[in-house]
Amino acid sequence: MARIHGGEMLVRALEREGVGQVFTLHGGHLDAIFDACLRHSLRVIDTRHEQAAAHMADGWARTTGRPGVAMVTAGPGVTDAVTGVANAYMDSIPMLLIGGRSPLADDELLPLQGGIDQMGLMRPITKWAYSVTQVARIPEFVAMAFRHAVSGRPGPVFLEIPIDVLFARADEESVRFPEHYRPRTMPGPSRDALAQALAWLAEARRPAILAGGGVWFAQAASELTQFAELTHTPVMANHKARGSIPEDHPLCFGGFGAIHPGAHKRREAPSADLVILLGTRIGLFTGGRNSVIPPDARVIQVDIEAEEIGRARNIELGIVADCGEFLRQAIAAIGDTKFDPHREWLERLSAIRTAQFHRWDEALARDDGPIHPVRLVREVAQVLDRDAIVAADGGETAAWMGNAWKARVPGSFMTHGYLGCLGTGLPFALAAKAAHPDRQVFCIVGDGSAGLNFSEFHTAVKHNLPVTVVINNDRQWGMSKHGQELAWGKGRHVATELGMVHYERAAAGLGAYGELVERAVDIAPAMKRALSCGRVACLNVITDAEVIEPGTLAMYSAFSGKKPRDGGEQKPGKETMLPYYGTRKID
């Protein structure tokens, strides 16, 4: 009777889940797994930092809709991966992190890379975490991990396997590989709730759908588009859902900010009167003081997790359901019912979108002088394929690119989420290229963000992942420096200068194609050379350091037209400007 070790069990269990690759950085605690990989078709993509491996597992899930898998060694391997796991946790992204551990037999003996509570680190930032203590049960816990990662609201999970468990052996015939351990159908809306939602939608004159990750991970892109078309309802999407309805579709209007009441008040016109939150949590832009939802609008919230209903605002109708099942049942219930075409509402939204697009026409027409960031991102967007995948990383850089690119396929735009984590761009792009080798993958990174995970250019070279990267180089932490100067006055800034760095040379030293771009007219030709070079490429584009992205101006709007303060004494009860959060009363 053959005896197999824990690494063999683990690899077989991953293959049964349909996992074709793992992201990792070598550590001896994982060698039993790597040994098994040599006998199987599981692709091992090793990175230069564990944080990047975790980000790649996160990025894989964002671009495919399926969980990504990362493996890290014990001790510093696990601690290095914490940021990547936390980023996935905040954005409800399904991924599995497998962590090595010191031997169980050496507990309390201060072993190498032991003595820290890895479970204690991971439990607050995962949906589920478990330490395996019996080798024959490894497949069981792998199945359990995947079930937790994708059930209900998705999220990251952590499986810790001590080295003496992973290298232990068991009789092959005694090892059980679970089957049929996840539901085949998803929960749908109640009949009454669905009827009420459709009745309110029929009454609405200015409805809007705010779509989130719940749509993408339910694989319900086509249903969303069909539902919007049947009801003539405009759709706005957050970053995870972008492309679920093609962004050149006449009913797609970009991000949630399209229904911001302020944008309509300035035009003396009312905003949305009915908002359907479809698989998006109430948070930064949908609840509290910064909400884009008009206070007098009816709100319907559809979410697979009951705990998310009404998190930070009143909800007129909460529906606990999988977004895909809600949409399918709604489409069936609509049948031949005709909805108002909402022509005036759609024309108003279209006019606002057109005005925003043309606000930078003057900057686009300028060929001389410093390169305007809008010129950079528009030139890039025009060169990319229609189904290209874009990863955008950096405070102002991501915002510029997000406004220029039209995602026409779900999973084709990836950027920051609730954690506001920098350094995700290159790992996300590499994961996307591993998942979609036949599609263009483009990454734009601010020069500040470029300092995090820059060595993954070497990973791209090593594993033949030819992504094209643009460094938006304004020689500073743009959002941070602009914010300081808006608050304190021109020339007053601390820890936000970076100076000129030749990133293209550094990338070339790691094996990439590198090129410096200093003139606007050279952007498109350089992009074409980078896209056709057949390997990872780095274009270092020097842009205007004085241009402030509108989102930064909005965050610091309290200082608009006012004399900047120097942070001295302040009278009690007065409002204080908090970077990123607006004005608050702090006594």
> What is the pairing mode between strands 68-72 and 582-585?
unpaired
Kind and range of the H or E element at 378? helix 373-383
The residue among 284, 283, 255, 304 whose CA lies nearest residue 94 is 304
**Among positive and negative, which fits the CA dihedral 463, 527, 64, 55?**
positive
How many helices (DSSP H) and strands (DSSP E) are in the chain? 22, 21
Six-digit token string for 287: 């609840």
Tokens of 204: 């609405």
226 neighbors 331 (Cβ within 8 angstroms): yes
The catalytic position among 8, 50, 485, 504 is 50
Strands, DSSP E only, in 316-381?
317-320
Q: Can you read off the two tokens belonging to residue 93?
A: 């992204």
Is the distance from CB of 428 to CB of 55 less than 8 angstroms? yes
| Active-site residue, from 21, 113, 301, 484 | 113
Q: For residue 175, what are the β-bridge partners?
A: none
Residue 100 appears among annotated catalytic residues: no
Active-site annotation holder among 115, 262, 369, 420: 420
Who's near 11: CB < 8 A, 6+ residues apart?
Answer: 33, 36, 37, 39, 40, 42
Rounded CA-CA distance 435/416 in Å is 20
Report how far residue 91's alpha carbon sits from residue 407's, in angstroms, rounded to the nearest whole number: 19
How far is residue 78's CA from residue 348's CA, in Å, rounded to a whole number?
51
Per the annotation, the verdict on 50 as an active-site residue is: yes
Catalytic: 372?
no
Active site residue 40: no
The catalytic site residues sit at: 29, 50, 113, 420
